[in-house]
A and B are shown apart, each in its own frame.
Chain A
């Protein structure tokens, strides 16, 4: 532990949940329902933090009819390119279907014009406000504005909670817990993706310091359209868009599987403008009640998007609507480190999404399901464990030394250099071996400076750790991408445009200064399922 003069809030719990978004709240709920004492820490505010609170998650929602479920699973296996598992998809569908109606007291599910209650899609702010109330009513203790900075281990090396900083209350916190769930979200490297600035890969970093494995990090290059200069990555209305270049020529950009690549190619060539004149009149009137935040950028800048052309951009989503994350090894979503669980975007979504983004629907179902599986698994593990309240230590991670009050490394400059490698479309969406190698060299240089320079943790403990986490995550993403010497799913390389049976494998990796990577070949039946 780093010594500080700050007061320390010391707490004990059966289960500690790190992160208060969709996965974290479902995890806390499941653990509390097992009768456990649960503490949830959020770096921001449980209810507004994370990418669900600002969005409108529609869940993967298939009735429990065997044919419908099988068809939904087969469809997704077809785009997973061998890396998903139908059994995990079935579990997620079942858990999602059974769970959402149960929060009816905390979310006012509307009825459609036929009087049928609509469970599948929820508004993010109301959903997360309800989840906060629900876990509070189940006895969960919430610590807001309390970022976790590192995991703790006991004298035997077992994960025993975490410690962090109370950025509003002042001082530090330490939770000694029998099991810990990482639900800290994915990492979009502080792109302008709506609601993503709490999601900087902190959980990956903490877990990797403890020796946990990551998986699927090469599938981390999803992008979403938004009006230029805005964060409003809500894509629905753009399905009606017509697109133009700077000289007002209409561009061949159309809805469908090629949309992202068509728009990205045009954006690399120059500015792209959109007009939404094909949105039907009745929908225009309903939109503020469908997606209340969608029109804010237009209304506030005096743009009529149905008549005027406005510039658009694409925001990087990294591992948020990408796939990669901590590898889970059992049905309880335990990581490769005993007592450490992962859920939501913090966990690799390969079991249900494979090599392709799950999109919003699968991803919400994943967060809801893995949250509950991890929370329940953590609770059951913690019940059988007696805590050792003394002799706790951290993992001596980079950027934790609170004696550093001044920064010798320029954090803003290092962040810009990370973003310069992972955000550009022509480096990350359209990949090549040469570029990946160049980017890795640039990121290696960033890492050297992150490692060697003082990040000013004494004044800005969270910023220092976020920077380390983003630097580490960028290296994991591109190391896996460089080593997957083929194209598969969202990982498309111009130098190796074909899928190769040599890479019918999961890429596991980890390490901080010295990265390691291992191919885990696919079990035979999974491969056949995907090819069928």
Chain B
């Protein structure tokens, strides 16, 4: 679930508050987003995708909050991973992040054709 918001990276656009489908975020008195209802987070990562500043971090554990070290995450290279791999915003014309979703059909077919019978 949503764990970290880096205020120094945040540009205060408020987009994450608007797009969160379960209303887990709210703008604080300083006009910066904060986690207002962590339990409401559905771990869908949509806020990260819409954050052009890569200022949010969602931990994939959807069951329990985690004690994370903000500095470790910041240095991990994971901030903005989803937005980059999706080819959004400044990554839109980067051939390394073009939309290859159409390959799914071929992958399913390959999985079917390469399946070996189970041997116990």
Contact = CB atoms under 8 A, between A and B. Distances in A.
Contacts of B49: 125
Contacts of A196: 42
B30 interface: no
Contacts of A283: 103, 107, 110
B105 interface: yes
Given A45-B21, A47-B19, A236-B104, A300 B59 contact: yes
Interface residues of B, number: 47
Interface string A21-62: 000000000000000000000011101111001101010000
Contacts of A197: 21-22, 40, 42
Contacts of A44: 20-23
Contacts of B110: 280, 283
Nearest to B42: A197
B101 A56 contact: yes
Contacts of A43: 21
A288 B94 CA distance: 14
B19 A45 contact: yes
A250 B120 contact: yes
Nearest to B57: A300
Interface string B101-116: 1111101101110110
Given A231-B42, A255-B111, A289 B21 contact: no
Contacts of A195: 21, 42, 44
A167 B23 contact: yes
B78 A300 contact: yes
Interface string B9-36: 0000000011111110000000000000
A12 interface: no
A333 interface: no
Interface string A279-312: 0100100101111110011011100000000000
Interface residues of A, number: 59
A376 to B, nearest CB: 27
B97 A289 contact: yes
Contacts of B96: 289
B45 interface: yes
Contacts of B78: 299-300
Given A45-B20, A297-B60, A289 B44 contact: no
Given A110-B98, A289-B85, A252 B105 contact: no
Interface string A231-252: 1100010011000000000101
A291 B82 contact: no
B38 interface: no
Contacts of A131: none
Given A192-B63, A229-B60, A292-B86, 20 more contacts: A45-B18, A54-B46, A56-B104, A58-B105, A110-B100, A122-B101, A195-B42, A229-B63, A230-B60, A250-B118, A254-B117, A289-B87, A289-B96, A290-B104, A290-B107, A291-B104, A293-B45, A297-B60, A300-B60, A300-B78
29 contacts: A44-B22, A48-B20, A48-B21, A53-B21, A56-B104, A125-B49, A126-B86, A144-B18, A192-B43, A192-B62, A194-B43, A229-B60, A229-B61, A230-B62, A236-B111, A239-B111, A239-B112, A250-B120, A252-B120, A254-B117, A254-B118, A283-B103, A290-B107, A291-B101, A292-B82, A293-B45, A296-B45, A299-B81, A300-B60
The 3 A-B residue pairs with the shortest CB-CB distance in the complex, in nearest-first order: A44-B21, A239-B111, A297-B60
Interface of A: 43-45, 47-50, 53-54, 56, 58, 108, 110, 112, 118, 120-123, 125-126, 144-145, 167-168, 192, 194-198, 227, 229-232, 236, 239-240, 250, 252-255, 278, 280, 283, 286, 288-293, 296-297, 299-301
